[in-house]
A and B are shown apart, each in its own frame.
Chain A
Amino acid sequence: MNYSIEAENLNLWYGDFQALIDVNVKIPHGQITSLIGPSGCGKSTLLRCFNRVNERYGNVTTKGKIEVLGKNIYDADVSLPELRKAVGMVFQRPNPLPISVYENVLFGLRIHSPMRSMTRTESDQIVEESLTSVFLWQDLKDRLKTRATSLQLEQQQKLCIARLLPLKPKIILMDEPCSALDAKGTRAVEELMEVLAGTYTFIIVTHNMAQARRVSKECIFMFLGELIEHRETQVLFTDPKHEKTSDYVQMRYG
C-alpha cells in the first residue's frame, strides 16, 4: 500500500455552507505533502477531516469516504481514540496542556494505556527519547517539571510534536505549524520534519510558499473548497496546469 490517506468524493458542510466540494486525494506514504491555497479555501477543514477532529463543532455534516491506512474512518466500528492515536495533529497556535513538560509528553500514553502500566524508568526513557527527537532534550532536561505553557513559543510547538511521538502515530497533520514562530523557529520545525519524514507521513498546511517548496515532495492546491491541483511540488510551482494555480503561486491572490 502506497497511500496513507485516500479521500473519495469528500463533501463537507458547516450548517448550510459547503466548505469542501468533491475532494479526491491520495496522500503518499512516508513523505511530506503540503496543502496550499488562499485563506478560507478549506485547507484546515480538509486536514481536520483526517482525524475527524472537525466533528467537535456540532454543525458539521460530512459525506464521502476517507480511508486512513486502508480503513474507512467513517465506518461505524471506528474508534476515535484509536484513529487519533494513529493520526496526530499539530495546531497553528502551539497548544501544550497546562501541566508539566514531562506530563505533556506522556499525556497521550497515559490516556491510551491502563492506569499505572508504566514504570518510572520507562516513562523517563520515553520522555527523553521524544524530547531528543525534537531537539529539545538539551534545552529542557533540567526543566521537565516546569509548566509547558511557560516555555517559548518555538519550544512549545516542538513539544507539541514531541508529545505525538510516544503514541507512534503513522501520520502527522500540521496546520500552519510555523505561523506563530519566527524565522529561526520555522527553520527548526522544518528541519525536524525533514528528519522525521520517512518514519511518519506529514501533511502540512502553509501560507508560506517558500516553505512548501522547501519541505514538501508533493503539493496540493485548493481553491474555494475544491482541490484544484495535486502534483509534485517543483512541477506545481514551475509548471502549473491550472490558471488558478499559476495565479496563486505567482501571488495574485492575497
Chain B
Amino acid sequence: MNILRKKSTANLPFSETVIELFIRLCGFSCIIFVFGIFFFVFREGAGFLFNGLDIGQFLTSPEWYPTSLNNKRYGTFALILGTFSVTALAMCMAVPFGLGAAIFVSEFCSPKLRETFKIVIELLAAIPSVVWGFIGLTLMNQLIIQVFNAPIGLTMLNGSIMLALMSVPIIVSIAEDALKAVPDSYREAAEALGATRWQVVYRVLLPAAKNGLLAAVLLGAARSIGETMAVLMATGHSVNIPSGPLSWIRTLTATIAAELGEVARGDEHYQVLFIIGILLFTITFVVNLIADLVIKGIRQE
C-alpha cells in the first residue's frame, strides 16, 4: 500500500525542512546562550579566582576597598549580607501579600474581577526596574524620612519595599497556577463535609498546593536576589553591615553595576567583579534548581 508507506525525509517539502531546522536551532540556542554566558563570565574572572584571590577573605571579610592605593581588599561579606538582608525583608512583605492575593484571585473573587486582577498584576510585572528605583529614590525616600524621622530614606527598607513590589506579581501568578492545579473534587469533597471556604483554603488547598506555593516563593526570591537597578537607587549604596531596616546597604548586583564601568579591563578589580558575578550566578542557580525540583515534586504526585 503506497499511502501507508513512511515518507522519507528526502520527500519532505523543502520549506518544511527549513522550518524544522530553524525551530531546532531556536531550541538549542537557549542552551548555548546560558553556557556561553557562564563561560564568558567565568573566563573573565578565572585568572584571579584561581591565582591570587583569597576566597576565604572574599566571602567573609566586610572590607571592600578595591581602589585603595596601597592595600586593596576584596571582602564581599557586607555585600552578601546586603543582598540577603534586603531580599529577606522583601520576602517578609511579598510572601504574605503575594500568597494572599493568589488565594483571593483563585478562590474568592468572581470570574470577572479575576480577569481584571490578572491584567493589573501583569501590568505590575511589566514596570521596568529603573522606574521602581526612581520611585524609591523620590517618593519612598520622602515617606521613610517622614514616617521614621530618619535622616535619609535610602535604606534597606526602601529597597526591600521596591523588591517586594517587583516580586509580588511573580509570586501571585505562580501561586495562582498552583492553586488552580488542585482538582476541584477536593474542594467539593471538603465543602460537602461542611467546610467553609476559608477552611477549604487552609485545610485542603494550602497542603495540596504547598510545593507550588514554595516554588512561587523561591522564584520570587530569585528575582529579588538578581535585581540590580532598583536596589542600586533605593538602598543608599554604601558598604555597610546592616544593623536594621533603616541602615543603608549595598548589594552584590549593585556593586557590579556601579563599578564595572570604571575599572580597567583585565585588572584585579575587574576580575573580582566578575567573580561576584559567578557568585550571584551560583546563588540564583541554586535557588532556581530548588524551585525546579520542588515543581517536579508536584508533577510526580
A residues sitting closer than 8 Å to B (CB atoms) are 51, 53, 56, 58, 80-85, 88-89, 91, 93, 95-99, 107-108, 110-112, 160, 163-164, 167
Contact = CB atoms under 8 A, between A and B. Distances in A.
Interface string B203-223: 110011000000000000000
Contact of B186 (A88, A95, A163): A95
B259 interface: no
B193 A53 contact: no
Contacts of A58: 110-111
B188 A84 contact: no
A82 B207 CA distance: 25
Contacts of B111: 58
Interface residues on B, range: 20 to 34
A163 B194 CA distance: 12
Contacts of A164: 193
B41 interface: no
Given A81-B196, A110-B203, A111-B199, A97 B191 contact: no
A218 B188 CA distance: 28
A116 B203 CA distance: 14
A108 B199 CA distance: 11
A82 B194 contact: yes
B192 interface: yes
B188 A107 contact: no
B192 A51 contact: yes
B190 A112 contact: no
A80 B194 contact: yes
Nearest to A108: B193
B188 A88 contact: no
Given A110-B203, A167-B194, A97 B188 contact: no
B189 A85 contact: no
A98 B186 contact: yes
B185 A56 contact: no
B196 A91 contact: no
Contact of A107 (B187, B190, B301): B190
Contacts, number: 64
B203 to A, nearest CB: 7
Q: What does DSSP make chain B's interface, helix, strand, loop or mixed?
A: helix
22 contacts: A56-B191, A58-B110, A81-B194, A81-B195, A81-B196, A84-B193, A84-B194, A85-B193, A85-B194, A91-B185, A91-B192, A95-B186, A95-B188, A96-B189, A97-B208, A98-B186, A98-B207, A98-B301, A99-B207, A107-B193, A108-B194, A111-B196
A98 B193 CA distance: 15
Interface of B: 110-111, 185-196, 199, 203-204, 207-208, 301
B185 A93 contact: yes
A163 B188 contact: no
A96 B185 CA distance: 9
Q: Give 10 closest A-B pairs by Cβ, nearest first.
A: A84-B194, A81-B194, A95-B189, A95-B185, A89-B192, A108-B193, A85-B194, A111-B195, A98-B208, A111-B199
Nearest to B110: A58
B73 to A, nearest CB: 54
Given A84-B194, A107-B203, 10 more contacts: A51-B192, A53-B188, A53-B191, A58-B111, A81-B194, A84-B192, A97-B186, A111-B194, A111-B196, A111-B203
Nearest to B189: A95
B34 to A, nearest CB: 35
Contacts of B204: 97-98
Contact of A163 (B193, B199, B301): B193
B207 A111 contact: no
B224 to A, nearest CB: 31
A91 B193 contact: no
B194 A91 contact: no
B296 to A, nearest CB: 17
